[in-house]
Structure 1
């Protein structure tokens, strides 16, 4: 009998949880005849802003564009520096380099795998124009320390919230403390669309107005282009789908938290380091990252037993081929400068965890991990 393969994730399983609602929403948007900057987007923007408790949500076509436009709205460009974790997905850094600015990397911590606040201040120069913390894996960064540093140096904070919809720091939702916050709604995220989507959130009226203008060719009035913008608009079908996802966000987060708790209680292999959550943080487990000595051997073993995994992220931005020979690329030196980030990149493996995953599959993953 062929062994059942446990997928790393299953968008279909998640979709099936609320299938009727998604299909009703999509058909409503399709039958409206209004597909760009319409009532579905207006509703989602209003509701997501209300969920976070902020004044403005501006829907965009991706989380990457959210980063690009947030940085552009702050007039950050050539000659400017933005502090960013050395261990993150490249999109966090692309938001900086797409504006002509330079990323200044800060190493991660060994325990949370997030940016180390104790190393931020030493990275600040007279060229620093913003701090960009990334709430990875579903866990919030130490926003108390980061906001204190930003306040001392009069720097804006841009929160990258692509993986942490609904997570909290000291009871406060991520995406609400920074000057601007950037969300991705890529389908696998805690709040995912049925395609690419993203948004910028802020309490600053002027910045919100700038981002709205930038997403629509740099214009407030059609054919009157005040700035060099781009076409980055969250369409009506995706907005309708996101409204469904938002209504179930806390529910789905709780599902993943319970699955994670099973992992935390059931995995007892000393060769597998389980994720650590800061006592001040609320984790929503977008991912379940473990640390192992031999990344490839662990993945190969699990795959041989019918369990698929992923690595987040095998090539840190400072080693990315696209940045070789630029200020964003650090090469071999970067492996020493950002030793924790490099270690995580070469030892992290993410176990399957998603809304709709069965407890039977979780139990099987636990069994296989403990056999390694």
Structure 2
């Protein structure tokens, strides 16, 4: 079996360091926040080329608190994309603001920046670009639009740890950047975790209070806050793993390059990476109109795959109250019906990449002038 992601292989490679770090937290009894979290906040913020980091319990909470720190609330609108994990939109909803969608660029799966200005109204307060699959949005024109209209930009970098746009790290370009440390992420905790990075001291102060019941000091509650603190054990684990992140990222990029090379010239649409970005390949998503058949055929050969994401948020029952209809965001809807994520993790071997690519090519329609791959392609 070739797994979609192999968390055990990564753990075994750093087991002794991780176990020692966890034991240190247990010995010091620093279970919530504490010295390991504080150190990780500084180290990860520096990694992201940002001044401040505020650790929280999830990436969703990072987005939620960033929006609140920006002053977003009932009656406001926040522009984002419907082709994302539901947490992006849920965080907007938690504040009482209205999510407003724009479509994606069909090549990159990220926000179509050219569609943003038309979506701005007097109620627009912020924009959340989503660096989906590990590729940054085209940020310079987006930031120019935001400055022109006085809008806050909050980067959803939950899948983009270490990704770069024109040499700048994801999370450092907008007013705030939000990360998830869910176990399967490029930098994953052994549980839940998230962080907001920013260069703004006032946003930092507000989010630090909001994550800990709105208190600036114990039992002195300045704001109506939340219990969104990052646990000490997660901070310790993430500090260990951060040291290896760039190496793991290059392993992901090498696996993606091998997939690209093996499937080059075929009818399989492989991921498009902009020339001015460092794509970190949290996911490697191909496209096919025969997704269910392909997924079943690959699984029959011992190859696990994923779908990210099968339904754009504007068509989910949970957000039917927004009033969007099928056909309003055609690129997002088409992507949601076609994307198929292949195995992608740092420990993926060249032989495994070859096996996956060969299995995919056997399913693909032959290119004109080339021999058919297998009889299986005709069956699909």
The alignment's TM-score, normalised by the length of structure 2, stands at 0.94
Question: Counterparts of 1:305 and 1:253 in 2: how far apart (Å)?
Answer: 27
What are the equivalent positions in structure 2 for 1:340-355 lying under 5 Å apart? 340-355=331-346
Query: CA–CA distance in 2 between the matches of 1:288 and 1:97?
Result: 29
Q: Summarize deviations over 1:38-81 as a string: whole Å, max 9, x none.
A: 11011101111111221110000000000111101112111100
Tell me how far 1:37 sits from its aligned partner: 2.0
Counting only pairs closer than 5 Å after superposition, residues 113-128 of structure 1 correspond to structure 2 as: 113-128=109-124
The 1:269–1:349 alpha-carbon spacing in structure 2 relative to 1, beyond 3 Å, is farther
- How many residues are aligned here? 363
Counterpart in the other structure of 1:13: 9
Within the candidate set 330, 334, 350, 1:339 is matched to 330
Match of 1:221 in 2: 217
Deviation, structure 1 residue 172: 0.7
Structure 1 unmatched runs, 5+ = none
Q: Report deviation, 1:246.
A: 0.8
Tell me, in whole angstroms, the C-alpha distance in 2 between the residues paired with 1:252 and 1:336: 39
Task: Note the 1:187-202 alignment, pairs <5 A.
Answer: 187-202=183-198
Partners of 1:342 and 1:336 in 2: how far apart? 7
Contact kept in structure 2, 1:115 and 1:133, CA below 8 Å: yes
- Are 1:361 and 2:352 counterparts? yes
Map of 1:129-278 to 2, 5 A cutoff? Answer: 129-268=125-264, 270-278=266-274
Give secondary structure in 2 for the equivalent of 1:273. coil
In the alignment, what sits opposite 1:305? 301
Q: Which residue of 2 aligns with 1:320?
A: 316
5 Å matches for 1:57-136? 57-136=53-132
Residue 195 of structure 2 aligns to a residue whose secondary structure is: strand
> Given that residues 49 and 168 in structure 2 are in contact (C-alpha distance below 8 angstroms), is that contact kept between their aligned partners in structure 1?
no
Equivalents in 2 of 1:87, 1:105: separation in Å? Answer: 9
Q: Which secondary structure does the structure 1 equivalent of 2:197 belong to?
A: strand
Q: Distance in 1 between matches of 2:267 and 2:294?
A: 10
Listed as ranges, the gaps of 5+ residues in structure 2 are 364-380
CA distance in 2, matches of 1:141, 1:353: 21
Please report the RMSD computed on the Cα atoms of aligned residues, expressed in angstroms: 1.0
> How far is 1:310 from its partner?
0.5
Mapping of residues 279-290 of structure 1, within 5 Å? 279-290=275-286
Q: Which runs of 4+ in 1 moved over 4 A?
A: none
